[in-house]
Structure 1
């Protein structure tokens, strides 16, 4: 159960209502993360603006792949569930690809290079080798796209932190998924 009550359009502060309504219009519901963030209209606006402004150079499919991978890395069941559902519904990613995304890979060769790079960035918290950067560049990604990959990871880290901290309830109707994060962390000890 989420640690603080989730707002509805009716209970949210006035400044938050247009943002919540935009999510409802665009995807057919208001994700619980945004209902949670509505407690702070400034935080909601900041996260929503970042979400809306990122990743055009990468395309929706690669953006969702990065969100799925980052949720797995950070042990965020809510984001893994939400992005897997949305990626299947809106971008038509296959279950096989989304399972590979969790491990930093993809069935698409170019996306695989982006995911391998993103996985290394996420796992190392940005402490990568020059060879990692050169590999994603050699796969055809521009410097601008590489910056966008890191920006998507940063966005995901932000939402993962909120959801893990506040134990955000899963959205109704989404098939619940769990990360392997705790299993992997336990095996590493």
Structure 2
């Protein structure tokens, strides 16, 4: 059970009600538990998350690439809520279940560009300091541009924010369970 108790979505007022309304418009009428808690506690933080996601959605990385990054970061961070969410959304944006499983298990997905992205994000997550020239050259050789490297960084940052909050809150998983 989530550690932070929030009132019902329907009882929200003011900025919280406004941000919940915005979430419902983009998520098929529901407010996921992570967003419900963030919207209740700091509506501006949820607005920032939505704004960042909107900017990323209009960027040059595909929705599949964003979901791969978020799933990988969530798996490595140990956020069961986000692993379930990004596995679910990953399927919705057309990622095969076996590719999602491979990302979570650290295996090849069978797609050279996707695997290069997974290796790069894994390196960023598990190391410190400036990445090596070899790592930089490998992601560029896979076809990623300077703009996309910035988008990858922002996607990682957004994932770490929600992962961290969910780990603090012990947010209830409200997406289908992942095997």
TM-score by length of 2: 0.89
Partner of 1:54, secondary structure, is helix
Within 5 Å, which residues of 2 pair with 1:104-183? Answer: 105-125=108-128, 127-171=130-174, 174-177=175-178
Query: How many pairs are equivalent?
Result: 175
Q: Name the CA distance, whole Å, in 1 between partners of 2:56 and 2:107.
A: 20
Partner of 2:53, secondary structure, is helix
Deviation, 1:125, is 4.9
Report if the CA contact (8 A) 1:19-1:48 is conserved. Answer: no
Deviation, 1:2, is 0.6
Report if the CA contact (8 A) 1:105-1:116 is conserved. Answer: no
Deviation, 1:115, is 1.6
Counterpart in the other structure of 2:97: 95
Q: Name the CA distance, whole Å, in 1 between partners of 2:149 and 2:7.
A: 36
CA RMSD of aligned residues (A): 1.9
Q: Deviations over 1:107-164 (max 9, x none)?
A: 3221221121011111225652221111000111111101111111111011100000
Within 5 Å, which residues of 2 pair with 1:27-66? Answer: 27-28=27-28, 29-38=30-39, 39-54=41-56, 56-66=59-69
Report if the CA contact (8 A) 2:19-2:43 is conserved. Answer: no
Report if the CA contact (8 A) 1:7-1:36 is conserved. Answer: no
User: Which of the pair is proportionally richer in helix?
Assistant: 2
In structure 2, the gaps of 5 or more residues are none
